Each structure stands twice: as C-alpha cells, then as structure tokens.
Structure 1
C-alpha cells in the first residue's frame, strides 16, 4: 500500500536528522525496503534545491544511505532497486524538474557506491545501464551541469573496471564521439576544470575499450571485420578541427599522478602515433612538450614501475619515428640519447639492474634514424648507448600488450627518491624540473628548473 508523508522543515539540521531517520529503518520485507527507498528519493528530491545545493551535499546524501542500516542489511537488493529506478526514468519524465533531481540523486549514489565496490558497476553493465548513460550524455547536457558531470563520471568509472560487450560498443556512433570532441573545443563552463576533464576521460576509456575488443578473439565478428575505433576514426578524418584534445591530454599527462589514467593517455598516444592518418595530428610545439614530459617521467619512475616505463618507451618510438619530429631541426637529440643510455645500462650507480624489456624498448628507440650517427646509421645508436642486445625489433604482440596493460584505479605513480632523481636529471639538465606549459598548449612552453 502506497502512502505519502509530508515534511515541514525549519532548517538544514532538521533535513539531515529526518534523512537519517528514513535510512535507519529496519526493514524485514522487500516491500518495506521499497517504501524506505521511495521515501528517501521523495524527501531528498523535494529539498534538493533548498539543502542540496552543492555536489558535496549530494554526495553527503549518498554517503548517508550507503552507511545506513537500510543499505548494510540489504546491499544487493538496494543496489538493484536503485539501478532499476535509474533505468525506468524516461526521457519524457525528465522534462519535469523533480524527475531530473531524482535522477541526479540516483546517479550520485551509483557513482559513490561503485567507487567503494566494483560490484555495483558490474551490476550496472549486466542490467543494461551503458546504453542509458550514452543516451543521457547526448541529451541532458543543458539541464543540470552537476548531473551531466556525474553521468560522464559513471560512464567512465563503469567502463574502466570491466570489459564492455560488443553489443554495447556498437551503440557508440560517430555522432556521439564527434559531440564529445566538440564539447572539448568549447570554452569550459567551470573555471576549476579548464580541460573538460570528465569528457576527456570518457574518450580515453572508450579508446581503451576499442583496443581491447580489437585484440580479443572472443569478441571477433563473424565476417572477420573488426569493430572500428570511432575515437581514432574521427581524429583521422577531422583531426584538424579537434586540436584541443591533443593539447589537453599532454597537459594532463604532465600533471597526472594516477597510474591508470597515465596508461589511458599513453594508449591513445600510442594509437595516434602508429596510425598513418594521425601521425601529424599534434602541433609540433605540443610534440616537443611531450618529449620533455616523457624524458622527465622516465627518469623519475622508480624501479618497480616497469609496466609504465615500458609504455612510455613504446610511445616514444613512434613519436620520434613517425611524427614531424623526424624532420630537422631535431629536438633534444643529445638529451634523448643520454636518457636512453641511463635506462639501458645493465647496472648504474643510481638505478638497479634493469629488465630485458626495457633494454629492448630503449634499444629500439635508439635506432630511430635521426638519433643515429649519420656516418654509420645502422650501428652508431647502439654503440653510443652501450647496448649489447642485437634483437632490437619490437614484438609483433606489442599492440596486444599495450591494449592489455591495466592498473587498478586510484593507484598513484610513485617517484624515485630525491637523490636518484637529482643525479639522473643533472645528466639531462635541460629537462630538469616540471614541464611548464602555456594555457593554449600549441603557442609555446617553457621549462623551469627546480629550486
């Protein structure tokens, strides 16, 4: 039996006290759980514009529900009901402000809970939330900026912890990807987010999903036609219209400390530099900034960050060999060679013994034609670097290895100890310190020394 409860509140504290009462209900049947959840949604939606004015307040609501007796006693059922309610709100209903507020609260809880338990994102995928998120991304941008950002975050988070199905990936069309690129080209609405960060993260994770699908035999099509990577396709055809993405991902790579996001950026760079149509997508100045970032990060990575080191080296080779950096004047040739020498020595005063893959990948970078001594181009780079491995060719499995490379969300990339970094960087003094990039990326940059 349905029932309505009216509330009269005098202040914000009464709101939070009443909310605690609602989510503290001890429900013994599914019917009572449903009533409690409906009360939670009606109450919070009714007072959203009065007491839930910030994203912090909305997240605080989600926290109260997730830490409640109601949730702790019936986790899976509560999650399932919230997912189903999220799916049931139709586009027609969302024309009403109250329905948009309810959707915002539902999405906030799913995002908050999913970050604590990946099971929530797995349930969302299994229940068909991915198509719904795509629909919301394309249709709800102007209604509620907070809701739109949460929708993008949900799409990103649920896509980076699991493989999407081929059916889900087929739903991504050229229009959606083009729309996301166009958002990045616009001046940001939020001054605290000058890079359209949520949109860029979605494009990065979609690119990764395409890479995984392309090299998974279980996801192969019956006619042997691989699924087209729409991110690379649009940049290959219309890249000159969407340069801001390139500028921004280099800026983010320069500043990002989360390993999983660094890998996502590097995967996109790898495909851009190994796909003929996008070899010269970036401005030359941006490529030079990228070289500085890679040199700095490779020298700064600790010994245990092998996977990330390998990924930087895999990106460095096509960056030097395929882009406009291959043409004179050659940028920082000596610094690059010194960096590769540091990485390729089997033993060093500042680095532990290195692994064979690092030697192989550094060796391959050293064989880029313009890095070699013009008098003996086929041998000089290896001699200069002191490398002894004659098999410098990249494995044919490289793309598969790149696609499969993963790191759990939230893991930060550690930094080498100060003494090791200072010593290594002194040998590459022109790239000492953080890379400082201008606001418009392509117009110039400067390097500032560390204090």
Structure 2
C-alpha cells in the first residue's frame, strides 16, 4: 500500500543562481544521470533515488528555466521513471500536496507539468488526489517568488483544469478573494503585455469561466453555484479593465480553435449580463468589431466538412467557431455603447458581411448552413443595423437553383424545357439521307466481304449426284 510522505531535503538556501565552471556543471549532470539510471526493484529503492534526484536538482546548479526543464526530462525519460510511472507520479503528487520548501516545490511542479503535457493521466491523478485546492493555496502564497515557481503553478493549475471537468467541491474552493487576486495581478503587470505572467493568469480565469458554464447548463441541479468571474466584474468591472483589453488583444493574435472559443464564451457572458454591458472602453469595442469581421471573413465555410480528411484538426471546428462569433456579435451590437446614438461603428461593413455570409457557399457548392442564416438574421434585427429593405428581402438560405445559377451558370428551372417539338425532331430524322461511306471506307468494306466469300466458297466438284452446290458463287455461272 502506498504511503503518503514528503521527502525531507536539507536545502534551505539552495537553487539560487550561482557561478559554476564547466567541470562543476559536468559533474552535476553526471550525478543526475547516475541517479535516474539506477535500477530499482522495490519502492524503498525508488524513494531513495527520488530523494537523491531532488537533492541534486536543488543544489544550486539549475540557474535558468531551460536547465530546470532539462533536468526534469532527464528523469521523465529515464528507466527509473519509465519502469515505475504510476508510483513515481503518485509520489510527486503527494509531495506537491505536502511540501512547503520552495526549491523542492519548483522541481516537483515542473516535473508534473512537463509529464502531464505528454500524458494527461497525470492531471487526472492530481484531480483524484485533490490537488486543485492545494494549487489555489500555492498560487496565492507564492506571489512574490522570483524563481519562476509562481508561473509554473499557474500553468499547472490551468492545464489540470483544462482537460477535465472539476467537481463542485473544487469549484466551491474558488472564492471572490482568489478571483480578485488574479485580476489585481493582471493590473500590476499592465505595463508589459509580453510579461510571462499575463497569459497564464488570463488562461486560468478563462478556464474557470468555462468550468462555471459547464455547470450552468443545468442550473436547477446546482442552484448555489455562482460564476465568480462574472460576479467580480459585475461589482468591480471598472477597476479591472486591463483584463478586458488583454482579452481583445489575445483574440486578435490567437489562431488556435480552443483559446478563441474560451475568449468568445466569456465575451458572450459579458455582453449578455446587464452590469457588464459597458465593461469595455468604446475604442476597445471598435477593435473587437474589426477582429470579428476579419475572422468571420477568414473562416472557410467548407473547411469543416467531415468528408475531407485533409482538413486540419482545428479546421474541423471552424463551423462552431463561426457560430460562436455570430452569437457574440449580436449582443455586442445590441447591448453595448455601440447601440448609443452617434456611436454606430461600421454599419455598412457589417451589413455587407451579413449579406456575404448568407450568400457565400462552400467549395463543394452546398449552401450555407441554416444556423448561420438564423444568427445573421438575428444580427440584422438590431435597431441600428436594420434597414427598410430588410423587410422586403428577408434573409433566407439560397436554394440549390440559386447556387447552381451563381456558380455554374445553370438555370435549373429551364433545364427541363426544350424549344423543339417531338414532331420537328421526327421530321428532321426522316428527311436525313442515309450516310454514304467514304471511298476509302467503301474499298475496305469490299475487301473484307471478298475475304469472307473466299472462306465460305465450296467447290462445285464436291456436289453429289450432279447437283449444284448451294454454296457455289453465282458469279461463276456461264
């Protein structure tokens, strides 16, 4: 039976940047390699090797993130780990739950993060062992860490929560104080959009929002669950506008399917919750409209056809992405400052976009799907977007006849009609003279008939009783 324990490491001041010569560095990596290459047959021997590994890795030789990752992969790719995966992983999870020493926590967090990114079973094990609440405490307690531990904890929390549904008990441990802590962290780093803490912190908030939305599908089963992200922004939105600015910035830069959907889902909630209707600055809304117009135009309406195996993995979800963009666009145009008088932005460009989305067909000539038509119709009903001509020409999906005429120059309605009657055709056939073979063709036919005659001719001498052979050629008669 596995017993939880914490490896005792005497390293109070270790893992600090220091100057090392090549000989010392070479000796260190040789030491690590020797430890992870040890053959172990019992759990006690494995525990001794893991202690030795942590002692070596916190001995002050790992000065950069690259060195830490290199050291972790030495263990992950070693026989010690590969032959005892489940046990070693569980021991590292137990160490994460109990360890308080920052240098050891740094290595343990890095090992779990890098191993989990190649095998999600690590994150599932962490969930089973109740590591989520522990990670929340560690993230809040290591804010001032300068060695990169805080960022690794954020990434581990994010990746663990991304691949699986959290339990209600886990979500209950997320309180307003933790969410406010993350928003304040973003505000403190607002002067540097490229700061490495920015993206992991925003991703944690986006994934927590996704977890809340998963349970919001059936609110009658979870009446006490509150979306803390929306709650904090509803009560203190103006104080945390840097988060909104970064959302639009990330949406503008992001090309992967998953992150775009996470951002759009949070934007939808912000634009459909009255207290957050005007959370964004007007200029930021203008940028968001530009981004949505561009991305909707860039999405290929036929790229997610399941019958085409050459479509990229992300391309298979472009239909869902296109629907989500349109679902966000409607409340954006209807509920925000863009609906105010004299604040309408790019009305004509939006109307052209809607017309194009409805009438544009995919590469295999099929009409746009009905969901797009319905969502576009909803957007065109926004007061400042609607035009008088919309009532006369309601939005409707193009028929097969329209698609054929536009793309192939065909008119299906006239395809079955003919300007000639049956009598006219018959008269023309009757008046047509039989075709006379060409001279060369006639000569060839005569030669062929002559050969056949020779083959079938029977000599009259073979006739019996003086009778003439029925096969005798009439031309030989005198």
Normalization by structure 2: what TM-score?
0.72
Aligned to 1:23: 36
Q: 1:201 aligns with which of 200, 203, 208?
A: 203
Change beyond 3 A, Cα 1:249–1:3 = closer
1:357 to partner: Cα distance: 1.6
Question: Where does structure 2 lack aligned partners over 5 or more consecutive residues?
Answer: 1-6, 12-19, 305-317, 400-478
Aligned to 1:140: 142
1:5 to partner: Cα distance: 12
1:372 aligns with 2:386: yes
1:145 to partner: Cα distance: 4.5
Change beyond 3 A, Cα 1:57–1:147 = same
Residue pair 1:107, 1:151 contacting (<8 A) in 2 also: yes
> What is the distance in 1 between the residues matched to 2:67 and 2:135?
23
Question: What is the alpha-carbon root mean square deviation over aligned residues?
Answer: 2.6
1:111 to partner: Cα distance: 0.6
Residue pair 1:270, 1:315 contacting (<8 A) in 2 also: yes
Question: Where does structure 1 lack aligned partners over 5 or more consecutive residues?
Answer: 390-451
1:144 to partner: Cα distance: 3.2
Aligned to 1:261: 259
For residues 435-446 of structure 1, what are the structure 2 equivalents within 5 Å? Answer: none
Residue pair 1:152, 1:202 contacting (<8 A) in 2 also: yes
Structure with higher RCO (Cα < 8 A, 6+ apart): 1
Aligned to 2:50: 37
SS of aligned partner of 2:189: coil
1:68 to partner: Cα distance: 0.7
1:168 to partner: Cα distance: 0.4
Map Cα deviations across residues 95-133 of structure 1 (whole Å, 9 max, x no partner): xxxx21110000001110111011100100110110011
Q: 2:237 aligns with which of 236, 239, 248?
A: 239
Map Cα deviations across residues 392-425 of structure 1 (whole Å, 9 max, x no partner): xxxxxxxxxxxxxxxxxxxxxxxxxxxxxxxxxx
Residue pair 1:345, 1:386 contacting (<8 A) in 2 also: no
Matched length? 368
For residues 12-161 of structure 1, what are the structure 2 equivalents within 5 Å? Answer: 12-47=25-60, 51-89=61-99, 94=100, 99-161=101-163
Residue pair 2:359, 2:368 contacting (<8 A) in 1 also: yes
> What is the distance in 2 between the residues matched to 1:30 and 1:5?
22
SS of aligned partner of 1:371: coil
Residue pair 2:370, 2:397 contacting (<8 A) in 1 also: no
Residue pair 1:23, 1:68 contacting (<8 A) in 2 also: yes
1:310 aligns with 2:311: no
Residue pair 1:22, 1:36 contacting (<8 A) in 2 also: yes
Normalization by structure 1: what TM-score?
0.76
1:15 to partner: Cα distance: 1.5
1:329 to partner: Cα distance: 3.2
Farther off after superposition, 106-115 or 136-145: 136-145
> What is the distance in 2 between the residues matched to 1:130 and 1:268?
22
1:388 to partner: Cα distance: 6.8
Structure label with greater radius of gyration: 2
> What is the distance in 2 between the residues matched to 1:40 and 1:190?
36
Q: 1:332 aligns with which of 346, 349, 366?
A: 346
Residue pair 2:359, 2:397 contacting (<8 A) in 1 also: yes
Residue pair 1:344, 1:363 contacting (<8 A) in 2 also: no
Aligned to 2:221: 220
Farther off after superposition, 134-143 or 230-239: 134-143
For residues 392-431 of structure 1, what are the structure 2 equivalents within 5 Å? Answer: none
> What is the distance in 2 between the residues matched to 1:351 and 1:107?
52
Change beyond 3 A, Cα 1:175–1:153 = same
Change beyond 3 A, Cα 1:36–1:319 = same
> What is the distance in 2 between the residues matched to 1:368 and 1:220?
34
Map Cα deviations across residues 19-42 of structure 1 (whole Å, 9 max, x no partner): 111111121111111111111111
Change beyond 3 A, Cα 1:159–1:281 = same
Farther off after superposition, 17-26 or 109-118: 17-26
Residue pair 2:151, 2:197 contacting (<8 A) in 1 also: no
1:282 aligns with 2:284: no
Aligned to 2:425: none
> What is the distance in 2 between the residues matched to 1:5 and 1:169?
36
